Structure 1
Amino acid sequence: MKLSGKNIVVFIVLAGAVALAYYLPCLRYNFYQQMMDGLMLDDAQIGLIGSLVNVINTVCYPIGGVLANKFRTKTLIVITLAAFLILSVWYAFAQGFVMLLIIHLLFAFFGIATLWSAYLSAVRGLADERNQSKMFGWNEGTRGLIQFAISLAFVALMGIALNAAQGFTYSMLFAAGVCAVFLVLAIVFMDGKPKVDEQDAAEKADEEPVEKYTVVDVLKNPGVWVVTFLIMCAYVFWTMGNSYLSQYTVDVLGLDPGTASTIGTVRTYLIVAIAGLIGGVLLDKFPYKGRTFIVLLAIDIVLIVGVMITGEQLMLCVALTICISFIANIMKTTYWSTMGEAGIPAAMTPLATGIISFICFMPDWVYPVVFGNWLTDARAADGGVAGAAVAGVYQNIFLIIIAFGVLGMVVSFIHWKRAQKLEAAGVIEIDHHGKK
């Protein structure tokens, strides 16, 4: 697979657009304390914003599919980046919870409805079928590096600002500048929808008709439910960990918010690129992915327990949070690869992934509001600061994550045994790398 000339720029624009879409509405992951101080938000308000953003994301997935079928890819990418530019400037000077909520919801709408399906189509058009995994993997890694660079810039700008509010103004104006750069590149270098060349058209004409599946077929497939709950449990480690590990180091460990944000940036964005590359190789080395997920979930459970009992050892505890993120990102970048061994036919993938995504990401609707209210009440009980009550809330959050991990191990075991059964029946083939 080779990218050259204009396609390299298009590749970077696509990665940049999605990097912005999943970064700007999610600043709570690494700048939680700064949002509280600079934007005058409390835990409950930040939690509500997070939950509503996730709801809008889910609702907009089917909308994005319709728009991607009706409009040129370039048109949708340009609209998205233009919207991000306007919203970033608005965010820089926004005041009040309601205005900030509206801005976040608009970020969520444009990030999914006008971007996500168009992005997937465009990335797929940059490579042939033999190189799809590599293309998406490289784009995921590039996205993580772009987010890492933007986040470091945010940390630096907040560091030189006179206060948190001014830091957010500087940071969002910088984000607007980044949006403007990608917008210009998209206008200049992007074409319309990727066109199918004559060779691809000939190959598709020779293919046998693909079996059609209905929603009922998907719901009746046991593998769909196994994969749904496997992904849900693995995703919980990633999303809850990213949401609260940074703030835990501030509230309970006493780490400086700026330092915590820097560590959170490394944990959230740089590690994902490394974990994606390692995870792809790792999962391919073992014949049963369910068995590998049992090991990964067990490791993360042990690491979470380590965080809970090493609160007085600052550097050790911080190191454990980074390790948690590394393992969680290995799972996150590979869990969609479990569909084949679960017995989900390739032709069922479009419907199956839609249903799986709708269900498995449901914790995102609930936990930010619930945990945010818990923390707000705990701070009030501690007299407005982070004390014993706040520390207790974090312990409960970690216990919930552990519970999902245990459930995930059970589901992974079911996935493993289902794969063995399907293999024995000749339904699927699994590469044992010369070993049985």
Structure 2
Amino acid sequence: MKKFDFKRAIQFICLCGASIIYYVPYMKASFYDALIQAFNVTNVELGIMTSAYTTMTIATYFLGGLVADKFSARKLLAFSYMASGLLCVGFGTIPDYRVAVVLFAILGVTTTLTFWSALIKAIRIFARPGEEGKAQGDVEGTRSILAAVLGTIAIFIFSQFSNIVTGMQVVIFIFGGACILIGILIWIFFERDEPDKDQNLGIGKILLTCLKNPNVWLMSFIVFGAFISCTTTPYMTPYGTQMFGLSITLGAILGMFRDYMQPIGALISGNVSNKTGISKLLIIVTALLAVINIFIAIIPQQASLVILVFIGTALGYIILGAARGIYFATLPEADIPMYMSGTVIGIISTIGFLPDSFMPIIIGNWLDTYPPELAYRFIFIAAAAGAIFACIISIIFHKRNKETIAKLAVIQKEGKIADKKNTETSV
């Protein structure tokens, strides 16, 4: 029986803290009216505030990769959590609107430039040899579960106050304080990792090496294709209400499937990938993702068949969660050295998350131009096309890296044998 590793448990909890650091920047989904009232702003002005955040995230994904390779992941994550926590506390004081916009823009930096690539790199450092997929899946799944639970708790706390502005402020202060606490825990419990001084390469040299590596582009395109499906998920609720006559409540439940089904998929894929390998499982998962999107697209739009929409949506979110749980875990199969991990993650994120910048515009145009029954079919066919693209690229990636994948399987097997011997010795 393995001994409980308290330090490793704290590290895992901190890695799952992304559900906390991202709560305030995206709280508009739950506290829209409270934000409007608190800051006395129009819908457009609130949109500008949140756009200031997303603009900075898009602008700094790539740079964040370079930063992650030049500085300690421990230092970057500790700084990101503590700085973001302080910014949230400042935002919770309900400052002048212009100050709030600036705070949101800076949050875009502290949750992306110094955070995102460092987080993915830290998960890779945390993972045991050959178990990167399991680590990524476990963190993604647990993080998603925490996001759903914490969101429910936040709404409960908010509901205890008669003044909605005060209730929202308390929620913001709690999440800001939690970020600061996680930052302190990371500083205390994470290993003192430092950039490899033996690999004394300049930023330009590392970047050029990464851009010349075909595997980096293949990994980016895998995420790009799979992420197209992510951009279509907000349209499941209106699809159910408009095309199948669901009530607003049932439509909201359909939308909530994302919060509770995706973690299941991420946890499953993370653990299954130990047996199948990352890219091999991605081939299977993206193929299934294409099939389920085609299924949703061709369901006859009749109220009597709404049960098929619920089944298809639940399965779709599980499969999508499975893809998201492991699509950043392909770096070892591509034989990417640790000192280049941050830059590679920055490139993958910049290219892979591009659909978030153009798919909502395309989908909005379809919904405005075509009859809804046709527009929604286009949406899910587009998601299927993205999944097929990701599947094809995954096949190419898998074939290209067969030797490295075989070596990783041996390392993983040897690691399990060593763990078993250590366990027997301790007993």
Question: Normalization by structure 2: what TM-score?
Answer: 0.71
Task: Please list the CA deviations of residues 312-360 of structure 1 after superposition, one character each: whole Å capped at 9, or x if unmatched.
Answer: 533431332222111111111112344555x554465444333222212
Flag the 1:160–1:75 CA change in 2: closer, same or farther, 3 A.
closer
* Counterpart position of 2:406: 429
- Which of 387, 408, 412 in structure 2 is aligned with 1:405? 387
Query: Aligned in 2, Cα 1:138/1:169: closer, same or farther, shift over 3 Å?
Result: farther
Structure 1 residue 65 corresponds to structure 2 residue 68: yes
Distance 1:49 1:248 in 2: 29
Give 1:282 shift: 3.3
Whole-angstrom CA distance in 2 between matches of 1:146 and 1:374: 34
- Residue 261 of structure 2: which of 237, 260, 271 is its match? 271
1:32-90 CA distances to partner (integer Å, 9 max, x unpaired)?
Answer: xx849985648x95996796365245255247538854957534422222223333554
Contact 2:76-2:115 at 8 Å conserved across structures: no
Mapped pair 1:220 → 2:212: yes
Instruction: Supply the AA of the counterpart residue of 1:296.
Output: L
Ranges in structure 1 where 5+ consecutive residues have no aligned partner: 198-203, 379-387
**CA deviation string 1:370-392 (max 9, x = no partner):** 445665x57xxxxxxxxx85555
Identity %: 19
Confirm or deny: 8 A CA contact 2:25 2:107 kept in the other structure: yes
Matched position secondary structure for 1:336: coil
Asked if the contact 1:9–1:185 (Cα under 8 Å) also holds between the matched residues in 2, the reply is no
Residue 325 of structure 1: aligned partner: 317
Query: Could you tell me how far apart the structure 1 residues matched to 2:247 and 2:391 are?
Result: 35
Matches within 5 A, 1:14-413: 14-16=15-17, 18-26=18-26, 35=32, 39=36, 41=43, 52=55, 54-56=57-59, 58=61, 61-62=64-65, 65=68, 68-69=71-72, 73-88=77-92, 90=94, 104-117=104-117, 119=119, 134-153=134-153, 170-171=167-168, 173-184=170-181, 186-187=183-184, 190-191=187-188, 194-195=191-192, 214-237=206-229, 239-257=230-248, 259-268=250-259, 270-286=260-276, 289=280, 291-293=283-285, 295-306=287-298, 309=301, 313-339=305-331, 343-346=334-337, 349-372=341-364, 377=368, 389-390=371-372, 392-413=374-395
Q: CA, structure 1 residues 252+174, in 2 after alignment: closer, same or farther (shift >3 Å)?
A: farther
Q: What CA deviation, in whole Å up to 9, does each residue of 1:129-164 have, x standing for no partner? A: 5776555544333322220112223555788999xx
Quote the residue 2:424 is aligned against.
none
The residue type paired with residue 174 of structure 2 is G
Give 1:248's aligned amino acid: Y
> How many corresponding residue pairs?
397
Change (3 A) 1:94 1:303: farther
Q: What is the CA–CA distance in structure 1 between the aligned matches of 2:56 and 2:366, rounded to whole Å?
A: 20
Q: Distance in 1 between matches of 2:166 and 2:244?
A: 28
Q: Give the letter aligned to residue 78 of structure 1.
A: M
Contact 1:74 1:192 in 2 (8 A): no
Give the distance between the partners of 2:96 and 2:375, measured in 1 at CA: 31
Instruction: Tell me the CA shift for residue 128 of structure 1.
Output: 6.0
Q: Is the 8 A contact 2:301 2:373 kept in 1?
A: no
Alignment root-mean-square deviation, CA = 4.8
Are the structure 2 counterparts of residues 294 and 9 from structure 1 closer, same or farther at C-alpha, using a change threshold of 3 Å?
A: closer
In 2, Cα distance between the equivalents of 1:189 and 1:360? 28
Counterparts of 1:147 and 1:36, CA distance in 2: 21
Note closer, same or farther for the CA distance 1:266–1:367 as it changes in structure 2 (3 Å cut): same
Deviation at 1:271, TM superposition (A): 2.6
SS in structure 2 of the partner of residue 195 of structure 1: coil
Q: Which runs of 5+ in 2 are unaligned?
A: 37-41, 413-427
Counterpart CA distance in 1 for 2:131 and 2:383 is: 35
Q: Is the 8 A contact 2:131 2:274 kept in 1?
A: no
Give the whole-Å Cα distance in 1 for the aligned partners of 2:186 and 2:327.
Answer: 33
Taking structure 1 as reference, are residues 299 and 389 closer, same or farther at Cα in structure 2, changes over 3 Å only? closer
Q: TM-score, normalised by structure 1?
A: 0.69
What secondary structure sits across from 2:192 in the alignment?
coil
User: In 2, distance between residues paired with 1:209 and 1:303?
Assistant: 49
